[in-house]
Protein backbone atom coordinates (compact mmCIF):
# COMPACT_ATOMS: atom_id res chain seq x y z
CA UNK A 1 0.00 0.00 0.00
CA UNK A 2 1.07 3.58 -0.66
CA UNK A 3 3.08 5.15 2.15
CA UNK A 4 1.80 8.61 2.96
CA UNK A 5 4.24 11.36 3.84
CA UNK A 6 3.83 13.47 6.95
CA UNK A 7 2.11 16.33 5.13
CA UNK A 8 -0.47 14.14 3.39
CA UNK A 9 -4.04 14.59 4.61
CA UNK A 10 -7.24 12.96 3.41
CA UNK A 11 -10.34 15.03 4.10
CA UNK A 12 -13.57 13.03 4.05
CA UNK A 13 -16.89 14.88 3.91
CA UNK A 14 -19.67 12.71 5.24
CA UNK A 15 -23.20 13.00 6.66
CA UNK A 16 -26.72 12.54 5.29
CA UNK A 17 -27.50 13.19 1.63
CA UNK A 18 -28.67 16.74 1.15
CA UNK A 19 -26.70 18.03 4.14
CA UNK A 20 -24.52 20.04 1.74
CA UNK A 21 -21.37 17.89 1.61
CA UNK A 22 -20.77 18.48 -2.07
CA UNK A 23 -21.37 22.27 -1.94
CA UNK A 24 -19.14 22.71 1.11
CA UNK A 25 -16.46 20.30 -0.14
CA UNK A 26 -16.15 22.11 -3.45
CA UNK A 27 -15.80 25.51 -1.79
CA UNK A 28 -13.31 24.30 0.82
CA UNK A 29 -11.42 22.26 -1.79
CA UNK A 30 -11.05 25.34 -3.96
CA UNK A 31 -9.83 27.48 -1.06
CA UNK A 32 -7.07 25.02 -0.21
CA UNK A 33 -6.37 23.93 -3.79
CA UNK A 34 -7.24 20.35 -2.84
CA UNK A 35 -8.09 17.79 -5.49
CA UNK A 36 -11.20 15.62 -5.27
CA UNK A 37 -10.93 11.87 -5.65
CA UNK A 38 -13.82 10.88 -7.89
CA UNK A 39 -15.72 7.66 -7.20
CA UNK A 40 -16.71 5.04 -9.73
CA UNK A 41 -20.43 4.28 -9.78
CA UNK A 42 -22.85 2.02 -11.61
CA UNK A 43 -25.87 4.32 -11.29
CA UNK A 44 -27.05 6.45 -14.19
CA UNK A 45 -25.95 10.10 -14.26
CA UNK A 46 -28.64 12.54 -13.13
CA UNK A 47 -29.48 15.66 -15.06
CA UNK A 48 -26.55 18.07 -14.83
CA UNK A 49 -24.05 15.46 -13.64
CA UNK A 50 -20.87 15.22 -15.70
CA UNK A 51 -18.87 12.03 -16.24
CA UNK A 52 -15.39 12.46 -14.77
CA UNK A 53 -16.46 15.40 -12.63
CA UNK A 54 -19.23 14.15 -10.40
CA UNK A 55 -18.44 10.45 -10.82
CA UNK A 56 -16.88 8.04 -13.24
CA UNK A 57 -20.10 6.46 -14.52
CA UNK A 58 -19.49 2.84 -15.54
CA UNK A 59 -21.56 -0.27 -16.27
CA UNK A 60 -22.02 -3.15 -13.82
CA UNK A 61 -19.74 -5.29 -16.03
CA UNK A 62 -17.00 -2.68 -15.96
CA UNK A 63 -17.38 -2.37 -12.20
CA UNK A 64 -17.17 -6.13 -11.71
CA UNK A 65 -14.04 -6.28 -13.85
CA UNK A 66 -12.33 -3.51 -11.84
CA UNK A 67 -13.32 -5.26 -8.64
CA UNK A 68 -12.01 -8.57 -9.97
CA UNK A 69 -8.65 -6.92 -10.66
CA UNK A 70 -8.52 -5.57 -7.10
CA UNK A 71 -8.62 -1.93 -8.18
CA UNK A 72 -10.94 -0.68 -5.45
CA UNK A 73 -9.60 0.48 -2.11
CA UNK A 74 -13.17 0.46 -0.89
CA UNK A 75 -16.39 -0.59 -2.53
CA UNK A 76 -19.96 -0.45 -1.22
CA UNK A 77 -23.42 -1.28 -2.46
CA UNK A 78 -26.09 1.36 -1.82
CA UNK A 79 -29.68 0.76 -2.93
CA UNK A 80 -28.59 -1.76 -5.57
CA UNK A 81 -25.82 0.39 -7.07
CA UNK A 82 -22.07 0.04 -6.54
CA UNK A 83 -19.78 2.85 -5.45
CA UNK A 84 -16.00 2.58 -5.19
CA UNK A 85 -12.75 4.47 -4.83
CA UNK A 86 -9.80 3.32 -6.91
CA UNK A 87 -6.66 2.94 -4.80
CA UNK A 88 -4.44 4.18 -7.62
CA UNK A 89 -6.37 7.48 -7.76
CA UNK A 90 -5.59 8.20 -4.13
CA UNK A 91 -1.91 7.37 -4.65
CA UNK A 92 -1.57 9.47 -7.78
CA UNK A 93 -3.37 12.48 -6.35
CA UNK A 94 -1.34 12.40 -3.16
CA UNK A 95 1.81 12.24 -5.26
CA UNK A 96 0.93 15.62 -6.71
CA UNK A 97 -0.89 17.24 -3.77
CA UNK A 98 -0.39 17.26 -0.03
CA UNK A 99 -4.10 16.83 0.55
CA UNK A 100 -7.13 15.43 -1.20
CA UNK A 101 -10.85 15.22 -0.42
CA UNK A 102 -13.67 12.75 -0.93
CA UNK A 103 -17.43 12.69 -0.33
CA UNK A 104 -18.44 9.33 1.13
CA UNK A 105 -21.18 7.68 3.12
CA UNK A 106 -20.41 6.43 6.64
CA UNK A 107 -19.10 3.07 5.41
CA UNK A 108 -16.56 4.65 3.08
CA UNK A 109 -15.48 7.14 5.74
CA UNK A 110 -14.94 4.29 8.22
CA UNK A 111 -12.96 2.18 5.75
CA UNK A 112 -10.61 5.05 4.88
CA UNK A 113 -10.10 5.82 8.55
CA UNK A 114 -9.17 2.20 9.25
CA UNK A 115 -6.69 2.21 6.37
CA UNK A 116 -5.09 5.62 6.78
CA UNK A 117 -5.64 6.42 10.48
CA UNK A 118 -4.55 9.89 11.59
CA UNK A 119 -4.16 11.05 8.00
CA UNK A 120 -7.93 11.00 7.62
CA UNK A 121 -10.02 13.91 8.93
CA UNK A 122 -13.73 13.24 8.82
CA UNK A 123 -15.92 16.33 8.48
CA UNK A 124 -19.53 15.48 9.33
CA UNK A 125 -22.22 17.79 7.93
CA UNK A 126 -25.83 17.71 8.98
CA UNK A 127 -29.17 19.45 8.92
CA UNK A 128 -32.57 18.29 10.16
CA UNK A 129 -34.55 15.75 8.16
CA UNK A 130 -37.13 18.23 6.85
CA UNK A 131 -34.44 20.62 5.64
CA UNK A 132 -32.51 17.97 3.70
CA UNK A 133 -35.76 16.71 2.19
CA UNK A 134 -36.70 20.23 1.05
CA UNK A 135 -33.23 20.82 -0.40
CA UNK A 136 -33.29 17.60 -2.36
CA UNK A 137 -36.73 18.40 -3.74
CA UNK A 138 -35.60 21.88 -4.70
CA UNK A 139 -32.56 20.36 -6.39
CA UNK A 140 -35.01 18.41 -8.57
CA UNK A 141 -34.22 14.89 -7.38
CA UNK A 142 -36.84 12.23 -8.16
CA UNK A 143 -39.18 11.32 -5.30
CA UNK A 144 -37.94 7.71 -5.18
CA UNK A 145 -34.34 8.93 -4.85
CA UNK A 146 -35.34 11.33 -2.06
CA UNK A 147 -37.15 8.50 -0.30
CA UNK A 148 -34.07 6.24 -0.53
CA UNK A 149 -31.86 9.01 0.83
CA UNK A 150 -34.25 9.63 3.74
CA UNK A 151 -34.19 5.91 4.50
CA UNK A 152 -30.47 6.29 5.21
CA UNK A 153 -30.87 9.49 7.23
CA UNK A 154 -30.85 8.00 10.75
CA UNK A 155 -27.95 5.66 10.06
CA UNK A 156 -25.83 8.42 8.56
CA UNK A 157 -26.70 10.75 11.48
CA UNK A 158 -25.52 8.03 13.87
CA UNK A 159 -22.02 8.35 12.45
CA UNK A 160 -21.58 11.89 13.77
CA UNK A 161 -19.84 10.96 17.02
CA UNK A 162 -17.17 8.97 15.14
CA UNK A 163 -16.08 11.97 13.10
CA UNK A 164 -13.25 14.33 13.99
CA UNK A 165 -15.47 17.40 13.42
CA UNK A 166 -19.20 18.04 12.94
CA UNK A 167 -20.94 21.11 11.53
CA UNK A 168 -24.59 21.96 11.23
CA UNK A 169 -25.08 23.40 7.75
CA UNK A 170 -27.82 26.00 7.51
CA UNK A 171 -25.84 28.99 6.27
CA UNK A 172 -23.54 27.72 3.52
CA UNK A 173 -21.08 30.65 3.68
CA UNK A 174 -20.82 30.38 7.48
CA UNK A 175 -20.32 26.60 7.39
CA UNK A 176 -17.65 26.91 4.72
CA UNK A 177 -15.88 29.60 6.75
CA UNK A 178 -15.91 27.51 9.93
CA UNK A 179 -14.62 24.40 8.18
CA UNK A 180 -11.90 26.38 6.42
CA UNK A 181 -10.73 27.69 9.80
CA UNK A 182 -10.77 24.19 11.30
CA UNK A 183 -8.84 22.66 8.40
CA UNK A 184 -6.29 25.46 8.36
CA UNK A 185 -4.94 24.00 11.60
CA UNK A 186 -4.22 20.71 9.79
CA UNK A 187 -3.24 22.02 6.38
CA UNK A 188 -1.33 25.14 7.52
CA UNK A 189 -1.61 27.15 4.37
CA UNK A 190 -1.44 30.55 6.12
CA UNK A 191 -4.65 31.73 4.51
CA UNK A 192 -5.27 35.45 4.79
CA UNK A 193 -8.72 36.46 6.07
CA UNK A 194 -9.83 39.19 3.68
CA UNK A 195 -12.98 40.24 5.59
Ligand X SMILES: Nc1nc2c(ncn2[C@@H]2O[C@H](COP(=O)(O)OP(=O)(O)O)[C@@H](O)[C@H]2O)c(=O)[nH]1
CB of 20 to ligand X, least distance (A): 11
When the beta carbons of 56 and 189 are compared against ligand X, the nearer one is 56
For position 169 contacting ligand X by CB under 6 A, the verdict is no
Q: Which does 107 bind (CB under 5 to 8 A by kind): ligand ADP, ligand X, none?
A: ligand X
Among 11, 17, 125, 187, binds ligand X (CB under 6 A): 17
Q: For residues 37 and 47, is the Cβ–Cβ distance under 8 A? A: no
Binding partner at 179 among ligand ADP, ligand X, none, C-beta below 5 to 8 Å by kind: none
Residue 84 sits at the vertex; the CA angle it makes with 44 and 63, to the nearest 5 degrees, is 65
Cβ nearer to ligand ADP, comparing 60 with 139: 139
Which residue's Cβ has the minimum distance to ligand X? 108
- Supply the minimum distance, in Å, between the C-beta of residue 102 and ligand X: 7
Contacts of 170 (CB under 8 A, 6+ apart): 127, 131
Q: Tell me, letter by letter, the H, E, C secondary structure of the chain.
A: CCCCCCCCEEEEEECCCCCCHHHHHHHHHHHHCCEECCCEECCCCCCCCCECCCEEECCHHHHHHHHHCCCEEEEEEECCEEEEEEHHHHHHHHHHCCEEEEECCHHHHHHHHHHHHHHEEEEEEECCHHHHHHHHHHCCCCHHHHHHHHHCHHHHHCCHHHCCEEEECCCHHHHHHHHHHHHHHHHCCCCCCCC
Q: Which is nearer to ligand ADP, 103 or 183 (CB)?
A: 103
* Near ligand X in 73-112, by CB under 6 A: 74, 76, 78, 83-85, 103-105, 107-108
Please identify, using beta-carbon distances, which residue of 27 and 194 lies nearer to ligand X: 27
Piece in contact with ligand X (CB under 6 A), picked from 4-12, 28-36, 72-80, 117-125: 72-80
Residues that bind ligand ADP (CB under 6 A): 17-23, 103, 135, 139, 169-172
Chain contacts with ligand X (rule: CB under 6 A): 17, 39, 43, 74, 76, 78, 83-85, 103-105, 107-108, 145
Amino acid sequence: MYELNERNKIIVFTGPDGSGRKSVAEAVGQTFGMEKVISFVTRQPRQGEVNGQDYHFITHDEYRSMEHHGEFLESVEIDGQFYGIRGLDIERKLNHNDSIYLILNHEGAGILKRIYGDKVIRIFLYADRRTVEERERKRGLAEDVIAMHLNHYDQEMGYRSWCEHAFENYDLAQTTYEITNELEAYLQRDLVDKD
